[in-house]
Amino acid sequence: MSGWLLEPVYWNWWVLGVALMAAEALLPGFFFLWMGVAALVVGLALTVLPDLGWTYQVLLFAVLSVGSIVAWQIRLRRHPTQTADPLLNRRGHQYVGRVFTLDAPVVNGYGKIRVDDSTWKVVVDQDCPPGTRLRIVGVDGVMLRGTVESPPATGG
């Protein structure tokens, strides 16, 4: 087994496992954790089967990596993570149900509203003048969908 960096051989897999887990702490994606666990398991398998050939080691690592990642994804689909604020990173969805006043007229179905410190494009099914109150009923990508809540107040 000459050519290996560390003896006994399982240390190589354990070092790789720790390095992959460290990469998980620095990079997004949640894949390196499972690859790190797979590397640790291969190292553990080598303590039991020290004569396991390198091709079987790599095959076992690949199967365990892909299998654990797929199993984790299936688990997440069946049991999604619950958070205290499910709309935290979905800013547009936070405005659904709220009523805002048009800053710019709706022309050809598109207008603009002011929300806090930003301006949002809004899609409405009818043209209306500035000052019209719109209730936000949904989100289409980066645009809000609204319905007319009340006509604009007229001075009189």
- Per-position pLDDT tens, the chain of length 156: 455 556 678 889 999 999 999 999 888 777 899 999 999 999 999 999 988 899 999 999 999 999 999 999 999 889 887 766 555 566 777 888 889 988 888 999 899 988 878 888 999 998 889 888 999 998 888 888 998 886 666 655
Please indicate, yes or no, if residue 68 is contained in any of the structural domains: yes
Domain endpoint, select from 29, 49, 78:
78
Dist CA 22 CA 16 (whole Å): 10
- Together in a domain, 56 and 100: no
Rg (CA), the chain: 28
Domain endpoint, select from 78, 106, 121:
78
CATH code for the domain of 136: 2.40.50.140
Please indicate, yes or no, if residue 155 is contained in any of the structural domains: no
Q: Which domain holds residue 112?
A: 91-150
Dist CA 53 CA 111 (whole Å): 66
pLDDT on residue 64: 96
- Together in a domain, 21 and 70: yes
pLDDT on residue 1: 46
- Together in a domain, 65 and 15: yes
Dist CA 144 CA 139 (whole Å): 5
Whether 21 and 36 have beta carbons less than 8 Å apart is answered as yes
Domain endpoint, select from 57, 78, 99:
78
Please indicate, yes or no, if residue 125 is contained in any of the structural domains: yes
pLDDT on residue 13: 92
Buried b (16+ CB within 10 A) or exposed e, 89-99: eeebeebbeee
- Together in a domain, 14 and 48: yes
Please indicate, yes or no, if residue 2 is contained in any of the structural domains: no
Dist CA 49 CA 60 (whole Å): 13
Tally the domains of the chain. Answer: 2
- Together in a domain, 73 and 95: no
Task: Dig out the tokens for 126 from the structure.
Answer: 């009818």
Q: What is the pTM of this model?
A: 0.52
